[in-house]
């Protein structure tokens, strides 16, 4: 008996997928000390980034890429690429920070577009488009800061932006819910285009999909905790943070939204993030470039957007103090 007759077509497909794996690229952004490295290490279940290894000498935004293979029993491995943005928000005047990130995202689109326009394409060209941008917000209990608004408004036009409220263990349950509400009110009031989980990029999506999306929308911004320890509790492995009063379990849905977020990212929505990047965000960019309304070196469109964000933020008189 050979392999082509002894195993089912489904098993053959599964084995091939396991061998090849799935590719996913994420960016994790936020000002210094928001818990980005801890979040990434917890998400990947391994130390991908050493703490405090990323501080740039000159406070300019730079881009660093890390790779991690996410493997779970009986599932297709995910080849995860993680881009971080050391230096983001480190200056006294941060107007350029968000623009630098936007430029980086557009540069990845340009590479694909330039390749598409060639007569002879390089079929091995690497696609480095970012599928999800996680933006970490400090748990201040206050509305968003100008930089947060500016970043999400600008970057949301070119990437699937998902806001995260980091260090959720520093807030009580009531404070957390209030902080989530303040963030979402700001996002709605400023028409910030974060990822919409109720939209579908798939022709088989039905009302169940929409209802699931609505449930996820209610969790936004996802409250996350970065663990600094791993413990086995009642036979189950958890990332934890220990305090004199007890232990915070990152993967416990009663403690934060980390587990649903991880399942959404690596499970139910992985393909949707990729489809949305290719069919909606890249397609829009491509149309703008080819129609001549957007030049390769970021001209009026981004600048006009940038100005409009500044105007809106100024008129809101936001409290920009940091705790
Ligand atoms: N209480 C609490 N502390 C956290 C959490 N995540 C990270 N920290 C702590 O916050 C500090 C900064 O965490 P990092 O993960 O290095 O933050 P970062 O955003 O990568 O920092 P930079 O790379 O310097 O910008 C460290 O002392 C972490 O232990 C969290 O969820 N809760
Ligand atoms: Mg870091």
- Model pLDDT for residues 137-194, shown as the tens digit of each residue: 999 888 899 999 999 999 999 999 999 999 999 999 999 999 999 999 999 999 999 9
Token pair 């699937």 is found at 160
Q: Taking 50 as the threshold, does the pLDDT of residue 28 lie above it?
A: yes
What pLDDT is recorded for position 62?
92
What pLDDT is recorded for position 318?
30
Q: Which residue puts its alpha carbon closest to atom 32 of ligand 1?
A: 167
**pTM of this structure:** 0.87
31 touches ligand 1 (CB under 6 Å): no
Q: Which residue puts its alpha carbon closest to atom 3 of ligand 1?
A: 167
32 touches ligand 1 (CB under 6 Å): yes
| Residue 5, in any domain of the structure | no
What pLDDT is recorded for position 251?
94
What pLDDT is recorded for position 203?
59
Atom from ligand 1 closest to the CA of residue 49: 20
What pLDDT is recorded for position 210?
82
| Residue 208, in any domain of the structure | yes
- Model pLDDT for residues 205-232, shown as the tens digit of each residue: 677 778 889 999 999 999 999 999 999 9
Q: Which residue puts its alpha carbon closest to atom 21 of ligand 1?
A: 33
Q: Taking 80 as the threshold, does the pLDDT of residue 92 lie above it?
A: no
| Residue 298, in any domain of the structure | yes
Nearest ligand (C-alpha, residue 49): 2
Lowest pLDDT segment from 53-67, 253-267, 286-300: 286-300
Query: Which residue would you say has higher pLDDT here, 113 or 313?
Result: 113
| Residue 23, in any domain of the structure | yes
The share of the chain scoring above pLDDT 90, in percent, equals 58
Q: Taking 80 as the threshold, does the pLDDT of residue 202 lie above it?
A: no
User: What stretches of the chain adopt beta strand conformation (E)?
Assistant: 22-29, 64-70, 78-84, 132-137, 161-165, 222-223, 229-233, 236-243, 246-249
139 touches ligand 1 (CB under 6 Å): no
What pLDDT is recorded for position 265?
95
Q: Taking 70 as the threshold, does the pLDDT of residue 17 lie above it?
A: no
Over the chain, what is the mean pLDDT? 85
| Residue 263, in any domain of the structure | yes
- Please, which pLDDT band fits residue 1 given cuts at 50, 70 and 90? low
Residues 120/201/274/102 CA torsion (nearest 10 deg) = 90
- Please, which pLDDT band fits residue 90 given cuts at 50, 70 and 90? confident
What is the domain count for the chain? Answer: 1
Query: Nearest-CA neighbor of 158 among 112, 204, 93?
Result: 112
Q: Taking 80 as the threshold, does the pLDDT of residue 116 lie above it?
A: yes
| Residue 322, in any domain of the structure | no
- Neighbouring CB atoms inside 10 A of 50's CB total 9
Lowest pLDDT segment from 69-83, 233-247, 283-297: 283-297
What pLDDT is recorded for position 261?
97
Q: Taking 60 as the threshold, does the pLDDT of residue 305 lie above it?
A: no
62 touches ligand 1 (CB under 6 Å): no
| Residue 107, in any domain of the structure | yes
Query: Nearest-CA neighbor of 22 among 197, 202, 265, 242?
Result: 265
Mutate to test the pocket of ligand 1, among 28, 30, 38, 239 (most ligand atoms within 8 A of CB): 38
Query: What is the rounded distance in angstroms from the CA atom of residue 39 to the CA atom of residue 34?
Result: 9
Alpha-helical regions (H) of 220-295 = 258-263, 270-275, 283-291
Task: Report the CATH number at residue 295.
Answer: 3.40.50.300
- Please, which pLDDT band fits residue 122 given cuts at 50, 70 and 90? confident
User: What stretches of 77-116 adopt beta strand conformation (E)?
Assistant: 78-84
DSSP H or E stretch at residue 21: none
What pLDDT is recorded for position 6?
76
| Residue 192, in any domain of the structure | yes
Residues 259/255/34/185 CA torsion (nearest 10 deg) = 90
What pLDDT is recorded for position 60?
83
Q: Is 255 exposed, middle or buried (0-12, 13-18, 19+ CB in 10 A)?
A: buried
Going from the C-alpha of 249 to that of each of 46, 166, 208, 269, 287, the distances in angstroms are 16, 14, 30, 24, 46
Q: What is the domain extent for residue 127?
A: 18-316
183 touches ligand 1 (CB under 6 Å): no
Q: Taking 60 as the threshold, does the pLDDT of residue 15 lie above it?
A: yes
């Amino acid at each position: 008996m050979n392999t082509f007759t002894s195993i089912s077509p489904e098993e053959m497909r599964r084995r091939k997928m396991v061998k090849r794996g799935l590719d996913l690229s994420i960016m994790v952004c936020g000002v210094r000390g928001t818990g980005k490295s801890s979040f990434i290490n917890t998400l990947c279940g391994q130390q991908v980034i050493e703490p405090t290894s990323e501080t740039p000498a000159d406070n300019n935004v730079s881009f660093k890429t890390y790779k991690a293979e996410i493997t779970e029993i009986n599932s297709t491995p995910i080849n995860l690429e993680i881009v971080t943005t050391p230096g983001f928000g480190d200056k006294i005047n941060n107007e350029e920070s968000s623009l630098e990130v936007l430029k980086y995202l557009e540069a990845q689109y340009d590479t694909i577009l330039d390749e598409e326009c060639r007569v002879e394409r390089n079929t091995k060209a690497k696609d480095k488009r970012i599928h999800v941008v996680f933006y970490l917000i400090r748990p201040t209990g206050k509305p968003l800061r100008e930089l947060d608004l500016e970043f999400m408004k600008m970057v949301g036009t070119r990437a699937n932006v998902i806001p995260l409220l980091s260090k959720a263990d520093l807030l009580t349950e009531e404070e957390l819910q209030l902080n989530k509400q303040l963030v979402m009110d700001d996002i709605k009031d400023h028409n910030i285009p974060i990822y919409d989980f109720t939209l579908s990029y798939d022709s088989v999506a039905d009302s169940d999909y929409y209802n699931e999306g609505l449930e996820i929308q209610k969790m936004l911004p996802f409250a996350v905790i970065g663990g600094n320890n791993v413990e086995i509790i009642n036979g189950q492995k958890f990332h934890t943070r220990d305090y004199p009063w007890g232990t915070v379990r990152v993967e416990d849905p009663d403690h934060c939204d980390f587990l649903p977020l991880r399942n959404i990212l690596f499970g139910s929505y992985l393909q949707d993030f990729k489809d949305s990047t290719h069919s909606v965000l890249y397609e829009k960019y491509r149309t703008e470039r080819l129609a001549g309304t957007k030049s390769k070196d970021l001209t009026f469109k981004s600048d006009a957007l940038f100005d409009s964000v500044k105007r809106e933020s100024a008129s809101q008189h936001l409290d920009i103090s940091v705790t």
